[in-house]
Structure 1
Amino acid sequence: MLEAIFRIIGIIFPVFACAGLGTYYGWRFRPDMSVVNKLNMEIFAPFLVFWALMDKPFDFSGYWGLAVGGVAVVLGSGLLLLPIALALKINLKTFLPPMMFNNSGNMGIPLILFAFGEDLLQAAVVLFIIEMLLHFTLGLYLLDHKTNPLKLLKMPMIIAAIAGLILSSLHVTLPAPLANTLKLLGQVSIPLLLFSLGVRLLDVSLKDWKIGVFGAIAGPAAGLICALALLPFLDLTPIETGVLLVFAALPPAVLNVLVAEQYQQEPVRVASIVMLGNLGSLIIIPATLWFALKL
């Protein structure tokens, strides 16, 4: 029992410590993170995705079950919570996106890395790519009903994913100096994502705390229900099952706030949902890890 507790603390401590340091630094110095975030999304994170796909031969057929599970968690969470949101008369465009599109980048990749090891980094990247693709297609369509999927092809993250998948499928091996350079640049992304998350959380308000608390519980609950309901139909190993459960329990992505600001979709309320969801993950993620690591 005690050993399991220390293991979970060892997994979640680096994640929340990096975010906490970002919160403290942001509170003390109020830095402008826009340039840093731009660098991370256009350089460091794409290098991380590319290196993860190139580091070992990537066989997507080995991850099809996990991919289907990831899609089901994202879409299923929205479908499950749709009638509840209608019954409670909550604005669907405000509430559903944060419930569907979770923190698979800022929190998901580091958590899976620390919990299951570097061998599962490709699995984390697969889920991240799926969540990101759905967010920038279905997620934007939910807000304006006129998104252009072709714009995805201009995103550095998508370019890196496509290039990594193609080269890996062709069994291309990068020279060691180049591979190490890509790895070094990619490794910048994870702590920077967490640090930026901590800084960003300072900008949100507790004004709409009721919907935030409801979302903090409803989002992970809906995701886990979808994952558990689908598990009997997926051919997943115990460790892949654990990865999917952690993905399902992740809090809302901070990107939801940026998108809400862009489309003027009650950004303050969305920010409250995101912040309280991430605070709630301090309880939900350890509980999910406890279960996932015992599989």
Structure 2
Amino acid sequence: MLEATLRILSIIFPVFACAAMGAAYGYFRRPDMAVVNRLNMEFFAPFLVFWALMDKPFDFVAYRDLAIGGITVVLGSGLLLLPIAWLLRINLKTFLPPMMFNNSGNMGIPLVLFAFGETALQAAIVLFIIEMVLHFTVGFYILNHRTNPFNLLKMPMIQATILGLLCSSLHITLPDALANTVKLLGQVSVPLLLFSLGVRLLDVNLRDWKLGTFGAIAGPAAGIACVYLVMPLLHLDATQYAQLLIFAALPPAVLNVLVAEQYQQEPDRVASIVLLGNLASLLIMPAILWFALS
């Protein structure tokens, strides 16, 4: 029991410690993170994705069921919570996106790295890409019923994904000097994602704490329910099953707040849902890790 607790602490502590340091720095310095976040999403994170996919051969069959599970978690969470939100008369455009699109980048990738090591990075990247693509297609469609999937091709993250899969499929390897440079640039992304998360959470409020508290419980609960509903149809090994459970229980992505601001869809209420969801993850994620790793 003690050994399991110490292992979970070793996984959780670096993740939340980096976010906490970002929050502390942000509280005293109030930095403008717009440029940093843009650099991370358009430069460092694409290098991480590219390196993870081309570092070793990418087995499409091995990740097929995991990808199906990830899609089920994202879309299924929205479908499960749709009638509940409708009965409670909650604005669906405000509530459903944070319940569906989680922190698979800022928190999901670091958790997987600390829990399973670099061997599980490809699987984490697969889930991250699925969540991101669905957010920029289905998520945007929920808010304004118009979206152009071809705009995804302009995103550096998608371009890095395509290039990484192409190199892996064709067994193209980079010279050591270039490969180490790509890896080094990609490694910048993970701590920067967590640091940025901490800074960003300072900007949200607790005005709608009741809705935020409900969302903090409902989101992970719906995601985990989707995992158990789809599990009989999937063939996952123990590590992939644990990763899918962790993915399902992740808190809402901070990107939900930025999108809500862009579409003027009650950004203050969305911010409360995101903040309380991430605070609740301090309790939820250790419990999920203990269950998944056991």
TM (norm. structure 2) is 0.99
Aligned AA (1:223): G
Are positions 1:11 and 2:11 aligned together? yes
Report the CA distance between 1:232 and its aligned residue.
1.6
Are positions 1:260 and 2:283 aligned together? no
Distance 1:61 1:255 in 2: 30
Q: Which residue of 2 aligns with 1:164?
A: 164
Q: Which residue of 1 aligns with 2:47?
A: 47
Q: Which residue of 2 aligns with 1:77?
A: 77
Aligned identity (percent) is 75
Aligned AA (1:34): A
Deviations 1:175-201 (Å, cap 9, x if unpaired)? 111110000000000000000000000
Are positions 1:249 and 2:249 aligned together? yes
Distance 1:67 1:91 in 2: 29
Q: Which residue of 1 aligns with 2:136?
A: 136
Q: Which residue of 1 aligns with 2:213?
A: 213
Distance 1:33 1:60 in 2: 36
Q: Which residue of 2 aligns with 1:122?
A: 122
Aligned residues: 294
Report the CA distance between 1:116 and its aligned residue.
1.2
Report the CA distance between 1:163 and its aligned residue.
0.5
Distance 1:239 1:33 in 2: 35
Distance 2:266 2:224 in 1: 27
Distance 1:211 1:277 in 2: 10
C-alpha root-mean-square deviation of aligned residues, in Å?
0.5
Q: Which residue of 1 aligns with 2:183?
A: 183
Aligned AA (2:214): F
Deviations 1:194-218 (Å, cap 9, x if unpaired)? 0000000000010000000000000
Q: Which residue of 1 aligns with 2:283?
A: 283
Deviations 1:70-121 (Å, cap 9, x if unpaired)? 0000000000000000000000000000000000000000001111111000
Report the CA distance between 1:231 and its aligned residue.
1.1
Unaligned 5+ residue runs, structure 2? none
Aligned AA (2:159): I
Report the CA distance between 1:271 and its aligned residue.
0.4
Distance 1:258 1:34 in 2: 11
Report the CA distance between 1:14 and its aligned residue.
0.5
Distance 2:259 2:135 in 1: 10
Distance 2:215 2:146 in 1: 27
Report the CA distance between 1:59 and its aligned residue.
1.2
Report the CA distance between 1:167 and its aligned residue.
1.0
Which residues in structure 2 correspond to 1:104-123 (within 5 Å)?
Answer: 104-123=104-123
Q: Which residue of 1 aligns with 2:100?
A: 100
Distance 1:133 1:37 in 2: 18
Report the CA distance between 1:5 and its aligned residue.
0.5
Report the CA distance between 1:32 and its aligned residue.
0.3
Unaligned 5+ residue runs, structure 1? none
Q: Which residue of 2 aligns with 1:228?
A: 228
Distance 2:146 2:211 in 1: 28
Q: Which residue of 1 aligns with 2:273?
A: 273
Aligned AA (1:184): L
The SS at the match of 1:281 is helix
Aligned AA (2:126): V
TM (norm. structure 1) is 0.99
